[in-house]
Amino acid sequence: MILVTGGAGFIGANFVLDWIDTNNEGVINLDKLTYAGNLENLASLKDNKLHHFVQGDIGDSALVERLLSEHQPRAIVNFAAESHVDRSIHSPEDFIQTNIVGTFRLLEAARTYWSGLTGTKKTEFRFLHVSTDEVYGSLTKNEPAFTELHRYEPNSPYSASKAASDHLVRSYHHTYGLPVLTTNCSNNYGPYHFPEKLIPLMIVNALAGKLLPVYGDGQQIRDWLYVKDHCSAIRRVLEAGRLGEVYNIGGWNEKANLDIVNTVCALLDELRPRPDKKHYKEQITYVADRPGHDRRYAIDARKLERELGWKPAETFDTGIRKTVQWYLDNQGWLNNVLSGSYKQWVEKNYAERN
């Protein structure tokens, strides 16, 4: 079996669901269940013996050591993190604790466990660290996309904490020989995405008749990848990635935020027209920009394609249509997510922007 951390969050849950579906191999899922963790994402695995959920912190060394020695996983896939840039601007401390200290403690536990392994169990063990393109900083309009050799220039407390974790992972390979792999992926979208992030927030607000808050001029560019393509790339890197290597993951889908919001509005016009027959895009409003807002991210995913033959299955058009439809079909999931603590966050983040 494998140990997945953060497997009740957006990407981690998609990964666990797809893993059990495609690999038919067990998962120990260690998740702290912060505001972003949601066991409802894993409801379909309720009676599945391949899924073993443990609520806990990656920074709890005793717990992680016990899980490793009890279950003897052949790999660790580390998704656990604080992941929202705006929250990192309001409260950076949690990002330092989980993304840096937590990753460090997880690496230490992994090193102790791996050191005690022998034979093929030792040679085949992997520690895969899931990271982000945001560690590379911001591109200008015509600069080439980020390759794995791009220098690290993180600009937010979130990206700086992820950058620090990437460096720790690298150092554990270089210094101790721990068999690590690191992936740096572009912006994901798809089912179970927490509605603090751009795409689900716009769907939720549009359906609720609320304003659609676009930061600044809305011309910031992100490179969007359907979450299940991210999961298939991670599976491929785990299977065949070269030890100590970094693989960038992306779908060659650069879009300006305003174009994303307009696309979501047009799909909702088609799939769930407003009762008054007006267009959802009339709800768009421009609000104060994010401090230090990165202008453009773009991933050059050629290394992953060349070495491991990975390519995304979805185009942006097919992925965004599936995503909007998923939110329309999963109103129950949404209603439970949009509870007390979510409302407080929306109040905190948007009140000061108006």
320 makes contact with ligand TYD (CB under 6 A):
no
Q: Which residue numbers are catalytic? A: 133-134, 158
CB 198, min distance to ligand NAD, A: 10
Count of residues binding ligand TYD (CB under 6 A)? 12
Least distance CB 346 / ligand TYD (angstroms): 9
Q: Does 6 bind ligand NAD (CB under 6 A)?
A: yes
Q: Find the binding residues for ligand NAD in span 213-272 (CB under 6 A).
A: none
Q: Which of 109-113's residues contact partners 24+ apart within 8 Å by CB, and which partners? A: 109/61, 109/64, 109/65, 109/68, 110/68, 110/76, 110/172, 110/178, 111/172, 111/176, 111/178, 112/65, 113/65, 113/68, 113/69
Nearer to ligand TYD, 50 or 207 (CB): 207
Residue 231 identity: C
Measure the CA–CA gap between 19 and 312, rounded to whole angstroms: 17
**Among 5, 187, 232, 323, interactor with ligand TYD by CB under 6 A:** 187
CA angle, 10 as apex, 226 and 306 as ends, to 5°? 40
CA distances 237 to 300, 303, 353, Å, are 16, 11, 40
DSSP label at residue 154: -
Handedness of CA 158, 159, 164, 168 (dihedral sign): positive
Cα separation of 151 and 248, whole Å?
Answer: 13
CB environment 324-339: b (16+ within 10 A), e (fewer): bebbeeeeebbeebee
Does the footprint of ligand NAD cover residue 9 (CB under 6 A)?
yes
Q: With binding defined as CB under 6 A, does residue 294 bind ligand NAD?
A: no
Segment lying near ligand TYD (by CB under 6 A), choices 55-63, 87-95, 160-168, 208-216:
208-216
Query: Is there a contact between 249 and 181 (Cβ–Cβ < 8 Å)?
Result: no
In this chain, which of 214, 234, 284, 324 binds ligand TYD, going by CB under 6 A? 214
CB nearer ligand NAD, residue 9 or residue 137: 9
Q: Give the interface size with ligand NAD as a residue count (CB under 6 A).
A: 31
Interaction mask 69-88, ligand TYD, x per CB under 6 A: ----------------x---
Options 110-118, 215-223, 236-244, 275-283: segment touching ligand TYD (CB under 6 A): 215-223
Binding of residue 215 to ligand TYD (CB under 6 A): yes
Query: Does 197 help bind ligand TYD (rule: CB under 6 A)?
Result: yes
CA-to-CA dists, residue 121 to 75, 115, 117, 247, angstroms: 10, 11, 6, 24
Helices (H), the chain: 10-23, 61-71, 85-90, 93-95, 103-115, 119-123, 157-176, 198-207, 227-240, 257-271, 302-308, 316-329, 331-337, 340-351
Residue 104 touches ligand NAD, criterion: CB under 6 A: no
Which residue in 213, 250, 312, 319 binds ligand TYD (CB under 6 A)?
213
Q: Does 222 bind ligand TYD (CB under 6 A)?
A: yes
Query: Binding pattern to ligand NAD, positions 63-102, x when CB under 6 A?
Result: ----------------xxxxx--------------x---x
Two tokens at 254? 């650069």
Give the residue, chosen from 14, 34, 220, 232, that forms a contact with ligand TYD under the rule CB under 6 A: 220
Residue 172 as a binder of ligand NAD (CB under 6 A): the answer is: no
Q: Does 58 participate in binding ligand NAD (rule CB under 6 A)?
A: yes
Residues 55 and 217: their CA atoms lie apart, in Å, by: 41
Per DSSP, the three-state class of 290 is coil
Residues at the contact surface with ligand NAD, assessed by CB under 6 A: 5-6, 8-12, 30-34, 36-37, 57-59, 79-83, 98, 102, 130, 132, 162, 185, 187-188, 194
Residues at the contact surface with ligand TYD, assessed by CB under 6 A: 85, 187, 197-198, 201, 213-215, 220, 222, 257, 290
